[in-house]
Each structure stands twice: as C-alpha cells, then as structure tokens.
Structure 1
Amino acid sequence: MRDIARRAGVGLGTLYRHFPKREALLEALLRQSFDGLTARADELQRSSSPEQALAAWLREIVAVTHNYRGAIAPMVAAISEPDSALHASCVSMKAAGTALLVRAQAEGKARTDIDGTDLFALVSALAWLHDQPSFASRADHLSDVIADAILSGR
C-alpha cells in the first residue's frame, strides 16, 4: 500500500482513508475496469458488425482479467453475491457481453446453443489460462479458437 500511495502521489493516510483495506482498493480498480468493459460493449454494439463486436469484446475482457492477475475469482464470485462491492459491475458487464452474443446470434453470426452464462464461463476459463505459466503463451491463440468456435464463418 505504501508503494501504491507513493506512485499515486498521495500520503499513506490519504490512501487508507479512501481504501481502508487492500481489498477495497482492488474492488475499486476492478469496478472501474468492469464498468469500462460494459461501456465498451455498448460502443461496439453501435460501431461494429455483430461478429467483430463480440470478438473484440472477448479479447478485451480477457486482457482486462489478465492485467489484474487473480481477478477472475472475485469476478465470478461477485455475480452470485449481491452484497459484493463488485456485484453490480459484474452483472452489468455480463449483461453487456450477453447482448453482444444475442445480437450475433440473431443475425446468424454466432452459434445459438450458448448463452451469456456460457460466454462468461468461457471468458473465465481463458482468463485462468493467462494465469497459468505453462499455458500463458497459448492463451491468445486459444482465445481465437474459442471466438472461432462461437462465431459462424470466421
């Protein structure tokens, strides 16, 4: 926490006043990133084809979870824990990804035998791969394989 305060240019007391525990700081960082992914899905929904939007969002969500090593566990847990500080952000982010999937399915660009929960599980699995030293180098390739498996005609 001392290093974080120094890098942020604030005193340690100021940091602890805003974030009394490390978990509170992590939740704030994750919430900001997850809210950003929700906004990004909305942007992609308006500006890209259904398959491009879904593929781009998948790459971005896996990258975010990779940037915050260990983020996948609190993200998955927050979906089913309404009292979690991350619950609303995670539910919104999952809904945004589901909307991208549903749009691609409606236009015949994605397989119809998966839903938003399946998509979220696949994102979780891909994020887990990034956290495993023996698989990390394969994670980007496998993300493309998963995207190809979801999207028709890619």
Structure 2
Amino acid sequence: MAPYEPATAGRSLRADARRNRTRILESAEAVFAAKGPAASTEEIARRAGVGVGTVFRHFPTKEALLQAIIGELAAQLAGDTESLARHGDPATGFFTFFSRLVERSSRTKTVVDLLAEADTAVTVVKPVHLLRRSIEDLLANAQRAGTVREDVRTPEVIALLAGICQATLYTGGDPELRDRTLAIVFDGLRPDRDAPSR
C-alpha cells in the first residue's frame, strides 16, 4: 500500500507534509487507544502540534484516518520484519518479531474495532504479503539456528499469532499476562532437547 501524500504546491513543502502526516498518525493512534470512539480531531491535532485543518487536509474523514493508521502499522511491521529477517540475529529474530507484533496489536484494538463498526474493509494486502514472506524467512533462520522446532510451518505461526493477538485484546492487554503467555508459546516452539534424535 503506497502511503497517501497530499498534493502540495511546491517541492519544498513535501518533506513538511510527510512529517505532519507521520505526526498525525502517531498522535491519532495514541489518542484513539486512550479515548476510544470519543477521541476528537481537535485532540489529535493538538497532540500532533498541527491545526485541525491540517488533519483534514491529510485525512478528510475519520474512516480515512483509521484506515491510514492500520495501513501504516502493516507497512511498519512488514519493514521491521524484513529487516529482522535480513540483519537480525537468526537465533532470536523470530521471537523478537512475534513479541513485537503481539504488543502492537493491543495498541490498535480501538482502531480495528472502530473500522469494524463502520463496516470498513482494511486494505493492507501488499504489506500482509510482505509480512508473510518475512515470517517464512525468520522461521527458516530460527530453524537453521536450532531455536525453533523443525516441524513448525508458517501457517501454524500465523495461527498462533492471530490467536495470541486476539487473546491479548480480550484480556485487556495486560503486559504481565501477555509475557507469561508468550513464554509458554515460545517454550512449545523450541526444540525438545530431551527428544531422541531421528
């Protein structure tokens, strides 16, 4: 998904417009997480340090803003995951990615819920495909490093991620519970050192 960039009259304004857009998205995610549906455009603009008009120039409707938050999140996750797969520690990159994704899911619950209420499709197809490829790379790296069982495949990883992200939302995003749950899942993904060799 290509990031939305508003039209600008001069080339020198484009960097400022991109910075404003980034600040608006970061602020909106935080305000929606804290206030839920009651979040106002004025609060988002104030937190971002821009005028309300600037918010509306980038995102004419609340739905457009919510979709952009999800799209930006998916693109960031895809980029982070690809970077971990290429440059991270093969033994730990898979677990780092898994933890980050679960942690981020609890911060975007309100945004996803609001989009669902509005019956709005979240179009993040390209970043999700990129994410899947990077998951496959991270999993293969971890298996070569001997930190993930050889019989684990990408569909199982995606199913576990979906289940734990949903559970994290259901339990209110309690960090201690999330970490304990991840520890149990990670223990199950690691090779059994006591198992007889085949």
Q: TM-score, normalised by structure 1?
A: 0.76
When residues 111 and 73 of structure 1 are mapped into structure 2, their CA distance, relative to the original with a 3 A threshold, is: farther
Q: Which runs of 5+ in 2 are unaligned?
A: 1-40, 115-120, 194-198
**RMSD across aligned C-alpha pairs, in angstroms?**
2.8
State the one-letter code of the partner of 1:145: I
When residues 73 and 105 of structure 1 are mapped into structure 2, their CA distance, relative to the original with a 3 A threshold, is: farther
Determine the structure 1 residue equivalent to 2:178. 139
Determine the structure 1 residue equivalent to 2:98. 58
| Distance (whole Å) between structure 2 residues aligned to residue 19 and residue 104 of structure 1 | 40
| Distance (whole Å) between structure 2 residues aligned to residue 62 and residue 94 of structure 1 | 15
| Distance (whole Å) between structure 1 residues aligned to residue 100 and residue 137 of structure 2 | 16
Once the two structures are superposed, the pairs formed by residues 1-154 of structure 1 within 5 Å of their partners are: 1-70=41-110, 84-133=122-171, 136=174, 137-152=176-191
Larger radius of gyration: 2
Tell whether the 8 Å contact from 1:70 to 1:131 is kept in structure 2 after alignment: no
Identity in percent: 25
Bigger CA drift: 91-100 or 56-65? 91-100
Runs of 4+ in 1 over 4 A off after TM superposition: 70-74
When residues 70 and 115 of structure 1 are mapped into structure 2, their CA distance, relative to the original with a 3 A threshold, is: farther
Q: CA deviation at 1:71?
A: 6.0
| Distance (whole Å) between structure 1 residues aligned to residue 191 and residue 90 of structure 2 | 11
